[in-house]
Structure formats: structure tokens, C-alpha cells
């Protein structure tokens, strides 16, 4: 069967990226610690491939991991409450995590190789025109209410919800091909056909989007987009959620917990043909901040913890006599950055989203570059992450197979160069205070989400860095939902420290971040009222639009690499988003849990359906 990206290329680039991570030496201490964690590239980390099997007319997905015991609970912590349980309204990380847990997609990523493989789809074919995809669904599998999952659900999810523009438009953005959307047709009860306008390299990976039940969601889409935005919100009764995933919601108590129970209708089985998952429950405790999360792990209230860099040495000691293992999963795919609001439009009331005098600063490339060179990333790595991170300069994560290696090398802090850049744009100093050419004191608000202690520490450090070039940044952590509302709806902010999750195999996953009309185009986001205001985008944004169009249509890996190298170069040169650090993902999990097969691709509990308690 043909693949968009050849397996050999994937393995080669993934291994090269992994080797760079494992032997990266920012300090002797970091190298020693990385080597001391559980091995992730040995035989124990390779999860056996799944199999398609048919039993009494039902197409199951079979696990080949050791057979486990049934029962028990896995408890973890999440920062903040969700805003919705509808996967197509989830614009924040908590909502996405909790909603997507319940809904599977057609495809998924192989945790060993990164290849696109099966989930709700039993198989797929790519026809010789490289534009036609035949997707064969599993026969006989059902939603949690016993209704069979069929091509009608797939067609409805894509044609009505995604292509129809309901909810968050991120998936629609990513599937847009030269300003056109794919066509979907039902071939029979268990087969659908997608036809793309042109050959489209990322297409199979986009089919991981959650499939939802037509017989439940249609009543919401029939009432229109405004109603859909409220559908399956946090006030939904758990019994109303009809799901395809391994777990379904049993209870949600705001600011306390979300409790999931096993879905007895799930289509994954073990090697003895018995249904999975093994666990009875998943419990997500809602915590206010990362310190609270750490305390809950140490008290035994939660079973897994992402370890802040400042606490790694402590946990290495605790591990010697503790009931948990530590795993180093390499650099995270969360790219942390600082971004300015370059928006020069007006809201409905006729007011600018950003004051005109600040617009002049933020839209000045020299100003943005001066900020970039004033930030001491090495200091962030050392003091915020205790060395368990790497400086980040690229829009692609460090372990991306499309990483522009030249960009990744970055530069050191250079205050003199920062001041030269500011002087070029008419800024001057009045008793060490930076002023623009009109005499305005350079002062702006710097926001991040409260509760994320590492991000808060970064904000304090960056505030001090900017003081070194005469800039006053009023640093203010605010509640996460308020922050996302400012970024995505009100468009009312000066400067923000935030992170987005990247895909190490597919830059087009960032289409909605980098294209000028993308739903996550944070630095110059358009409101629904000015989507046609193409005269208010910058020349480098037009260049990014073309690169992402051409990159998705190019099937040759090496040529795609050249295109995506260019986009990273533009972001590096123009600095609309200034990248900061790539922390190492170091995670603790209780030893009592078995079938833990961590990979650098999918993380620690990507196979939660197969995890059991010894």
C-alpha cells in the first residue's frame, strides 16, 4: 500500500532527531541525567503493532501487548476546568484533552515509526491519481449507546461539521487545499471516498480528527452555529455523551474532577480476544497550578506527573526509595514563544484593538528583533528549567523531521545589537528609559496563563531582560480562559507568553497558525467581521500563505523540506513570534501500572487502553 511519506524516510529522520536529543550537551549535568533515565530506544519501548481481526462479523483492533488484569483507577491532574466537552468547540488544551479522550478518529500515528495507521478505519487506499482516498471502516463496531458506527457518521462529521464551519475552524483550516476543501462521498455503509482538489501530502494525517455520532450531533447542527457553540458544554449530563473512545464521562464536578469509566463497547481487544480497556476508571483532578499538582503526586493523590526542571534532581532522589519510575521523553513538542499583537484593525465600536502608538512599535521589525536579542534563553534554561531544556529559536520543534538546522542554532543574547536595532527605528534613551521618536515611553503589558509556574517564572525573567534595554513590561499572569478569550475573541492584548503543540511529522498541522486567515494566527488574527481585509496583512504573511499552500501540495519530502525551511527562516527573520525554550518532557508514573511503553512520538500513556494495575 502506498504512503504519502515513505517509511524509510520517517525512520531515518526520527532516529536522527532522537539521537540529537539524547546526546545534546548543554551541560555535563544534563547529559548525565538524560543517560540515567529509563531507556526509550531499546526493545522495551517498542510497542508491538496492532492487528485487524474479524470475530463473528465484527472488525476489531487487536493489541499484542501482555495480557493484564481488569479493574482499578488511573488518576492524573489537569490545570484548570474545561470550557466544553464538544471536541469541535475545544479551543483550550484542557477541553481538547477531555473531549478527544471520548472520540476516536479514522487514523492515528504509529508510536514506533510515526506512520499513519488505522483506528476507526480498518484500511485505506490511495488511488494512482494521488487525490482519491478510499477509507474502509470497521464493520459491526458501535457507539457507547449501541448504535453502529457507519459511513453516515464519517460523512456527517466531515461534510456538515468540519467543512460546514461549525465550532472551532482549526480542522477545516488544515484541510483547506488551495482555497478548496476535499469532497467526501459515501460508497456504502462502511466505505467513504475523499477526493482532494490536488495531491495533498498531509491528507491522511488530517483524518485523525474526531468522528462524532450523527444521531446525537445532528440536532445541534440543525439549530445552527450559534447553538452548536453551546452544545455539550460543561453543563451536559454525562449520560448524554455518546462516544467511540475507550472511556466515557461518568461525572464532572467543576474545579474538582472529571471521572471517566470504561466504554464496554470499545473495539480494541487483547490477544485473548477480550475487550479493552483494563482500567475501570480514569480520574482527572482539576488543579489550580503546577505546584498543587506536584503536591498531589507526592501525597499519592495522582499517579502521573510531568516533572518541572527545577524538581528533577529531587525526584531522582525520591525515585531511589519511591513507588514510581521516571522517564525522559526528550524535548516536548510544545513550542513556547512570546508574541506581539500586530493587529492594525478596528473592532465593531470603531476602536483599534491596539493603541496606534503601540501598533507602531509592534509592527516594527527592528523593535521585535531587538526584543528577541535581549532575551537570555540560556538563563531561562538554567534558572527556570535547571538545565532540563534547550534554547528554542525555530517555529518547528527541535525533534521535527522538518527542522531548519541552521535556524535551530540560534544566537546569544546581545544587548548592544538590540540597542542598535532600536536606534535605527528612531528610539532613544532618556535616563535609561526607552522612548519612541514621538517621546512615548515604551511600556506594554506582558501576559501569560496563571498557574503554570514555569511560564510565570519565564515572564519574570523576560521582564528583567527587557529592563536592560529600557523597556517596561508590566507582567501579569491571568486565568487561562481569560487569556484565550483575549487572544482569540477580543484580540485585545499587547504581548503574550504562550505555547502551541506541534506535529513533528507534519508542518501543515500549523496551517491555522501561520496562514493569514487561520483561526490561530495569533499575532495578526482577523475577527469574523474582517476576514476579507487582505489589505491589512503584511508582505511576509502573504509569503507564508504561499509557502504553506505549496508545501502541502508537494509530495517529495526533500522539496517539502526546502519549502518549510523557508517558512522557518521568515519567522526567524521577522520575529512575529519569538521562540524561547524547549523543555525536556520528564515524567513520573507509579510502578504499579504495567504495559507502560513510552515513546518520544506519542508520550507516556498513549496506550492507556492497554495499561493495567499489577
CA distances from 186 to 238, 244, 328, 343, 559 (A): 31, 20, 44, 42, 34
Neighbouring-strand partners of residue 175 = none
Rounded average pLDDT over 177-200 = 94
CA–CA distance, 201 with 560 (Å, rounded to integer): 9
The residue ranking higher by pLDDT, 23 or 234, is 234
CA distances from 427 to 129, 344, 441, 443 (A): 56, 21, 10, 13
Q: Say how many C-beta atoms besides its own lie within 10 A of residue 436's C-beta.
A: 19
Give the pLDDT score at 174: 86
Give the pLDDT score at 568: 97
Q: Confirm if 195 and 212 have CB atoms less than 8 A apart.
A: no
Q: Confirm if 571 and 577 have CB atoms less than 8 A apart.
A: yes
Strands 443-449, 581-590: pairing kind: unpaired
Q: Is the pLDDT of residue 34 over 50?
A: no
Rounded average pLDDT over 405-416 = 95
Q: Is the pLDDT of residue 613 over 50?
A: yes
Neighbouring-strand partners of residue 441 = 435
Q: Is the pLDDT of residue 501 over 90?
A: no
pTM equals 0.81
Give the pLDDT score at 585: 87
Scored b (16 or more CB within 10 A) or e, 178-216 reads eeebbebeeeeebbbbbebeebbbbbbbbbbbbbbbbeb
Structure-block grid coordinates of residue 382 = 538554567
Lowest mean pLDDT among 165-169, 346-350, 465-469, 528-532: 528-532
Burial class (CB in 10 A: 0-12, 13-18, 19+), 424: middle
pLDDT band at 2 (very low <50, low <70, confident <90, very high): very low
Domain locations along the chain: 51-228
Non-local (6+) Cβ contacts of 429 within 8 A are 435, 470
CATH class given for the domain over 51-228: alpha beta
β-sheet with 183-188: strand ranges across: 121-126, 132-137, 191-195, 183-188
Give the pLDDT score at 15: 30
pLDDT digits (tens, 9 = 90+) for 443-453: 999 999 998 88
Lowest mean pLDDT among 261-270, 385-394, 468-477: 385-394
Lowest mean pLDDT among 1-5, 318-322, 348-352, 581-585: 1-5
Structure-block grid coordinates of residue 11 = 525512520
Lowest mean pLDDT among 68-82, 520-534, 578-592: 520-534
- The alpha carbon of 569 is separated from its chain's Cα centroid by a whole number of angstroms, namely 22
Give the pLDDT score at 308: 86
CA–CA distance, 506 with 520 (Å, rounded to integer): 17
Rounded average pLDDT over 78-97 = 89
Q: Confirm if 505 and 401 have CB atoms less than 8 A apart.
A: yes
The residue ranking higher by pLDDT, 523 or 534, is 523
Rounded average pLDDT over 211-222 = 97
Q: Confirm if 434 and 427 have CB atoms less than 8 A apart.
A: yes
CA–CA distance, 378 with 388 (Å, rounded to integer): 11
CA-based radius of gyration for the chain: 24
> What count of residues does the chain have?
614
pLDDT band at 36 (very low <50, low <70, confident <90, very high): very low
Lowest mean pLDDT among 8-22, 150-164, 423-437, 474-488: 8-22
Instruction: Give the position of cell 496606534.
Output: 356
Q: Say how many C-beta atoms besides its own lie within 10 A of residue 298's C-beta.
A: 17
CA–CA distance, 88 with 435 (Å, rounded to integer): 45
Amino acid at each position: 500500500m502506498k504512503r504519502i511519506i515513505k517509511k524509510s524516510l520517517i525512520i531515518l529522520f526520527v532516529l536522527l532527531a532522537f539521537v540529537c536529543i539524547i546526546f545534546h550537551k548543554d551541560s555535563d549535568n544534563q547529559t548525565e541525567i538524560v543517560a540515567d533515565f529509563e531507556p526509550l530506544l531499546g526493545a522495551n519501548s517498542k510497542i508491538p503493532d496492532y492487528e485487524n481481526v474479524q470475530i463473528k462479523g465484527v472488525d476489531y483492533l487487536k493489541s499484542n501487548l501482555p495480557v493484564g488484569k481488569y479493574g482499578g483507577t488511573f488518576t492524573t491532574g489537569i490545570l484548570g476546568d474545561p470550557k466544553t466537552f464538544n471536541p469541535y468547540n475545544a479551543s483550550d488544551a484542557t477541553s481538547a484533552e477531555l473531549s478527544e479522550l471520548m472520540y476516536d478518529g479514522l487514523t492515528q500515528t504509529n508510536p514506533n515509526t510515526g506512520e499513519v495507521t488505522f483506528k476507526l478505519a480498518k484500511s485505506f487506499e490511495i488511488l494512482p491519481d494521488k487525490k482519491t482516498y478510499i477509507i474502509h471502516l470497521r464493520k459491526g463496531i458501535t457507539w457507547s449507546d449501541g448504535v453502529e458506527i457507519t459511513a453516515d457518521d464519517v460523512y456527517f462529521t466531515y461534510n456538515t461539521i468540519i467543512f460546514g464551519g461549525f465550532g472551532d475552524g482549526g480542522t477545516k483550516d488544515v484541510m483547506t487545499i488551495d482555497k478548496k476543501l476535499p469532497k467526501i462521498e459515501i460508497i456504502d455503509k462502511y466505505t467513504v471516498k475523499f477526493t482532494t482538489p490536488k495531491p495533498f501530502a498531509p491528507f491522511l494525517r488530517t483524518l485523525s480528527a474526531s468522528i462524532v455520532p450523527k444521531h446525537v450531533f445532528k440536532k445541534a447542527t440543525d439549530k445552527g452555529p450559534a447553538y452548536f457553540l453551546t452544545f455539550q458544554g460543561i453543563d451536559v449530563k454525562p449520560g448524554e455523551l455518546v462516544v467511540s473512545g475507550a472511556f466515557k464521562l461518568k461525572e464532572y464536578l467543576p474545579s474538582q474532577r472529571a471521572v471517566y469509566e470504561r466504554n464496554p463497547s470499545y473495539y480494541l481487544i487483547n490477544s485473548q480476544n477480550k475487550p479493552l480497556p483494563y482500567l475501570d476508571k480514569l480520574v482527572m483532578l482539576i488543579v489550580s497550578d503546577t505546584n498543587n499538582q506536584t503536591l498531589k503526586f507526592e501525597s499519592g493523590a495522582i499517579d502521573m506527573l510531568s516533572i518541572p526542571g527545577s524538581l528533577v534532581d529531587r525526584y531522582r532522589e525520591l525515585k531511589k526509595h519511591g513507588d514510581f519510575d521516571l522517564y525522559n521523553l526528550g524535548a516536548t513538542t510544545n513550542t513556547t514563544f512570546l508574541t506581539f499583537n500586530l493587529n492594525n484593525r478596528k473592532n465593531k465600536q470603531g476602536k483599534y484593538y491596539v493603541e496606534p502608538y503601540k501598533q507602531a512599535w509592534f509592527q516594527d521589525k527592528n523593535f521585535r528583533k531587538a526584543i528577541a536579542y535581549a532575551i537570555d534563553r540560556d538563563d531561562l534554561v538554567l534558572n527556570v528549567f535547571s538545565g532540563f531544556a534547550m534554547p528554542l529559536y525555530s517555529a518547528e520543534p527541535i525533534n521535527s523531521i522538518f527542522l531548519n538546522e541552521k535556524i535551530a542554532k540560534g544566537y546569544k543574547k546581545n544587548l548592544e545589537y538590540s540597542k542598535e536595532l532600536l536606534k535605527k527605528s528612531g528610539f532613544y534613551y532618556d535616563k535609561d528609559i526607552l522612548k519612541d521618536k514621538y517621546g512615548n515611553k515604551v511600556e506594554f503589558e506582558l501576559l501569560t496563563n496563571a498557574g503554570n509556574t514555569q511560564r510565570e517564572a519565564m515572564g519574570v525573567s523576560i521582564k528583567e531582560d527587557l529592563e536592560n534595554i529600557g523597556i517596561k513590561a508590566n507582567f501579569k499572569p491571568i486565568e487561562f480562559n481569560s487569556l484565550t478569550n483575549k487572544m482569540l475573541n477580543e484580540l485585545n492584548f499587547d504581548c503574550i507568553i504562550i505555547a502551541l503543540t506541534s506535529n513533528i511529522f507534519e508542518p501543515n498541522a500549523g496551517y491555522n497558525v501561520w496562514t493569514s486567515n487561520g483561526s490561530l494566527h495569533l499575532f495578526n488574527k482577523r475577527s469574523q467581521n474582517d476576514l476579507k481585509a487582505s489589505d491589512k496583512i503584511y508582505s511576509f504573511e502573504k509569503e507564508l500563505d504561499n509557502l504553506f499552500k505549496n508545501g502541502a501540495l508537494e509530495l517529495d519530502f526533500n522539496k517539502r523540506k526546502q519549502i518549510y525551511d523557508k517558512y522557518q527562516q521568515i519567522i526567524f527573520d521577522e520575529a512575529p513570534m519569538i521562540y524561547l525554550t524547549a523543555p525536556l518532557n520528564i515524567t513520573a508514573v507509579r510502578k504499579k501500572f504495567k504495559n507502560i511503553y513510552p515513546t518520544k512520538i506519542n508520550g507516556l500513556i498513549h496506550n492507556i487502553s492497554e495499561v493495567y494495575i499489577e
